[in-house]
Amino acid sequence: MSRRERMMDDLDQDIREHLERETQDNIARGMRPAEARRAALLKFGNVTRVTEATREVWSRVWLERLLQDVAYGWRMLRKHPGFTVVAVLTLALGIGASTAVFSVVNGILLKRLPYTDPEKIVMLWWKAPVTSTQAPGDEWPWTLRDVAHFKARQKSFQYFGAFKSDFFNLVGSGEPMRLDGLRTTSGFFATVGVAPALGRTFAPDDDRPENKFVVILSDRLWREKFSSDRGVVGRAVALNGQSYAVVGVMPPGFSFPRAEEMPITMSLPPQTQLWVPLEIPPAPRGPSEYAVIGRLNPGIITATQAAAELRQYGDDVVKEFPSAKGWYEPAVVPLPRQVVGDTREPLLLMLAAVGVVLLIASSNVASLVLTRSLGRKQEFVLRGALGAGRARLLRQLLTESLLLGGIGAAAGILVAELALFCVRNFGPSNIPRLQAATLDPRVLLFTLGITLVTGIVLGLVPAVGISRENLAESVKDGGRAGRSPAHSRLRNILVVAQVALALVLVISAGLLVRTFHQMLTADSGFSAMRVLTFQLSLPNSKYAEPEQMAQVYTKTLLALQALPGVQSAGLVSEVPMGGSTDSTVLRIPDHPPQDQNDQPFANYSFASLGYFSAIGSPLLRGRDFLASDTADSRKVTIINSAMASKYWPGQDPIGREVGVKDTRWPTRTIVGIVANIKHSSLREAPDPEMYVPYTQNEIKIWPSMQTMQAALRTQADPEGLTRSVRDALLGVDADLPIANVTTLAALVDDSTAQTRFTLFLVGSFAGLALILTTIGLYGVVSYSVQQRTHEIGIRISVGATRHDVVSMVLGSGARLAGVGIVAGLLAAWAVTRMMSTFLYGVRPTDPLTFTAVAALLLGVALLACYLPARRAAGIDPLIALKYE
Amino acid sequence: MSTKGDNERIELLQGTLDLLILRTLRLGPTHGHAIAKAIEFSSDSVLQVEQGSLYPALHRLIKRAWISVEDGTSENNRRAKFYRLTAKGKRQLVVETSKWNRLAGAIAQVLRPARQESES
């Protein structure tokens, strides 16, 4: 029994006793019992009213009234199923799309990383100087020397680790398997702060030479290769011909770092499968190839302080080696920011796009609500006359619109769930943490928020009309369809805004389409048709010397070229879209450096004869490599046209000399020029590049040809050749693993996945916006035709032709659309410049796109007006005049 | 609501009845009928409250936790609901009384010049 019921029971009893006492008192004063009772009742007052008043004290009046309003609103919605269905569907699309996009944003940008105190983890880089092969300011990795020296003196970090990717051949039962792994210093796991599922992570002295043969497995590797054996810790596995002891297994889902989370230059694998210690020798040397991660000291140290310490270190290095000037600008990037990488801006773009869709959807529904509220004027007039205050009517309207919003949101959540399902299953795989996009409480809170805002705005829109209108006036004409200027104006404003918003969105989508088209048609320097590629990694233990490597590559090449169905085959350090290549500072006798900042440089790749024809990039000038280019013959190189025009502008580079900066190695003679072959993205600007025949590589340590990629141009379906390729390689060396077997077309596809995804989403939103705007425009124009039936009837009866009527209606629609288009063009002109990072080969104010989209919108607008115009022309003046 | 009524009876201001109840209960817990009688008696029947309207007020005070209700037996051994002032109610009584005094003082001040005007 609730307190309220208990109190009401008490009251009944109390009133009975009160009356009893009063009656007794009256009897004591000498009244007769019946009279005494009546007098008591009279003095008490109306018992029912007292009971009601007391009940009201205990009741939650607002709740009861709310239920009343909701029930009434529900009845109204059911009475107008057409309106309700259209409004709910529109809201569901708007709210659903917003919810889906927000959950992606939430999953990628807002959710905490699953590491201990992720905000304390930072990545440390150097900024690439202007003279480097990368865009200035890009993350530049560390040398092992700097890692060792900085580690020894740093005070900012509690833990500190360096890492780079490496591959490991797991040889044993069955086919040799190539595993993507990571070499890390011992501080890596402590920095990331994730506990192993089994065993331990690296101990501080695991990176000592005597301890370094230990390995930590990923959960996936442990399941797939070690059949989830919990006794795996302590067992020995053979990697690269060495015996490693398994010390730990990481929990499911942990494969940090993934390729998409780190700069592309780090060439990290999509999924790290194992971790082995990275040994730091006493006097480390070698190239910049290590990423450095650190956990800030608890309490005092901020990322800025850490950056200051790093800067001090850089300054000291430059003091010691003045030639290093410019290469030691620190960049400290918080890990949460790092792993988001380049996805942040596309996501914000999508959020903006979906926001526009939501605005259009809501204004569409607002327009509908407005139209319907005119139909309901009589109802409001009547209720007003019966004493319902303005506040009461407003509350009723708000309840109804919130109810509408609530139903729309419920349907919208289904839409979002469906959209997320599609994105998770068919979306690009190289967007970090896309899988983390779920409808979690924060997303639902967001949905609730936009629903409330939408509902309140929708409720207030018709209220504007109510307050502005003279209700008494309406009573006079029976509350019938008298035209309301306030409402018409509001509806016109809404539809103009819709057209403008849709125009901005469609122009944005158009610019992205043009970008995508430019990307695909711009000269990539290769042709991806029917090219099979895979990666070959030579085990260190077996092939250490460049001559040994060259021998096995020659054997491989001959075996591949001999395969039936292969038109041409070649080897190269990195196939197009296979990742970035090494780069180095050059020595060009024709181009002696003027000062420290004028060091010539180029990407430095190894290639074989046949490679350029295999990827469909014929030589522009000169000759391809020949079988006669051997270690003993004249050293040659082929350069790309970017290098030719950069270092020999207006001259013929064939026959000129170029070499690596280190004078221990002789220069090479340029024998050919090829197109600029893009490496990691179709939209990259070409870098100078030189190709060295693998048969003439004299440098042992770096750049290395330990890993090469093969490209095979085939006569038919390239993937059909996979089996015979594997068999051919087993014939070369049974322990030679091949990895990443795929087609060049698939690599190109992957490289454009994110652009396509953005384009697809923004394009869908633009389409949605266009449809909603069309519906909105149609609604407004047909409503005005309906309103003007009488007037049009008169016009026809006095001689207006069918054509006159159609053009009059089309004209009024076109005027609205025209104002919207002009406003939209201005807005787009202001807004699209913010998109310039997404664009390639097209200006943000591309006149072609602007004109085409404006024409499209005008066409769609006229189409939307055509039906009501025809209806208007078909009005029978007799019926129209009787109607009034 | 009503335009004509018996003007001799003073309509209670909102909250006045609450104050009268609290004052009555300061003398000790008692039942509803006794409260009605006490108000009637102590105001010399000028404040003619419909006895029934006492009850919504009592419940309002219970809800605010200014008074509490309990079962008890009255002087002539009859069962009754007894209303008792709570500690919070006692504090509130002080607040309400001073509020009322200020209001009464203010009204008196407003009325004084009016009377002088009419006299002159």
Q: How far is A44 from chain B (nearest CA, A)?
A: 4
The distance of A64 to chain B (nearest Cα, Å) reads 19
* A57/B56 touch (CB, cutoff 8 Å), yes or no: yes
* Nearest-neighbour CA in chain A from B24: distance (Å): 17
pLDDT at residue number A136: 62
pLDDT value of residue A674: 95
Q: Which fold has domain B16-119?
A: Arc Repressor Mutant, subunit A (1.10.10)
* Record: contact A10-B81, CB cut-off 8 A: yes
- CA of B33 to nearest chain A CA: how many angstroms apart? 5
What is the band of B7 on the pLDDT scale with cuts at 50, 70, 90? Answer: very low
Query: For each successive 10 residues of chain A (884 residues), what is the average pLDDT?
Result: 79 88 89 90 86 80 77 86 88 93 87 82 82 66 88 87 86 71 89 88 81 87 86 86 88 81 78 87 80 85 82 88 81 84 81 91 87 74 68 80 92 92 78 76 92 88 60 49 66 90 93 90 88 85 82 92 92 86 83 74 91 92 91 92 91 91 88 92 87 87 80 89 87 79 88 85 91 88 83 86 89 91 94 86 91 93 89 80 62
Rounded to a whole number of angstroms, the distance from the CA of B79 to the nearest CA of chain A is 9
pLDDT at B4: 35
**Helices and strands (H, E) in chain A, number of each type:** 26, 22
Q: Which residue of A has its CA nearest to B79?
A: A17
Are A44 and B33 an interchain contact pair (Cβ–Cβ within 8 Å)?
A: no
Q: Which helix (H) or strand (E) holds A768?
A: helix A753-787
CB count in 10 Å sphere of residue A858: 17
CB atoms A14 and B55 under 8 Å: yes
* Distance in angstroms (rounded) separating the CA atoms of residues A302 and B68: 58
CB-based contacts of A780: which residues, under 8 Å, 6+ apart? A367, A491, A492, A494, A495, A816
Q: Which residues of A touch B31 (CB under 8 A)?
A: 14, 17-18
Which residues of chain A are within 8 Å of residue B69 when distances are taken between CB atoms? Answer: 10
Q: What is the pLDDT of residue A386?
A: 66
Question: Please, what is the Cα angle at A320 between A319 and A325, to 5 degrees?
Answer: 55
pLDDT at A444: 92
Q: Which of A14, A45, A46 sits opposite B32 (nearest CB)?
A: A14
Q: Does A4 touch chain B (CB under 8 A)?
A: no
Tell me which chain A residues have a C-beta less than 8 angstroms from the C-beta of B36: 18
pLDDT of residue A505: 92
Which conformational region is residue A340 in: left (phi greater than 0), alpha (psi within -120 to 50 degrees), or beta? alpha
Pairing of strands A689-693, A636-640: antiparallel
Which tokens hold the place of A178? 């190539």
ipTM, two decimals, is 0.83
Q: Which residues of A touch B68 (CB under 8 A)?
A: none
DSSP H or E segment with residue A636:
strand A636-640
Domain extents in chain B: 16-119
Nearest to A368 by CA among A400, A395, A396: A400
pLDDT higher than threshold 50 for residue B119: no
User: Within the 7-26 window of chain B, which residues sit less than 8 Å (CB to CB) from chain A?
Assistant: none
Q: How far apart are CA A363 and CA A458, in angstroms?
A: 8
Put simply, the chain B residues between 27 and 86 with a CB less than 8 A from any chain A CB are 31-33, 36, 50-53, 55-56, 59-60, 62-63, 69, 78-81
Q: Quote the minimal CA–CA distance from A473 to chain B in Å.
A: 28
A198 bridge partner residues: A249
DSSP string, A583-621: EEEEE-TTS--SSGGG--EEEEEEE-TTHHHHTT---SE
**Residues of B in Cβ contact (< 8 Å) with A13:** 81
Give pLDDT, residue A170. Answer: 80
A41 in B contact zone (CB under 8 Å): no
Stated pTM of the model: 0.71
Strands A689-693, A601-607: pairing kind: parallel
Q: What is the C-alpha separation between A74 and A579, in angstroms, rounded?
A: 59
Compute the nearest-CA separation of A45 from chain B (Å): 6
User: Chain B contact for A17, CB < 8 A?
Assistant: yes
Dihedral (Cα; B2, B6, B8, B12), 10-degree rounding = -30
Is residue B115 pLDDT above 60, yes or no? no
Kindly list the residues from chain A whose CB atom is less than 8 angstroms away from the CB atom of residue B33.
17-18, 21-22
pLDDT at site A531: 93
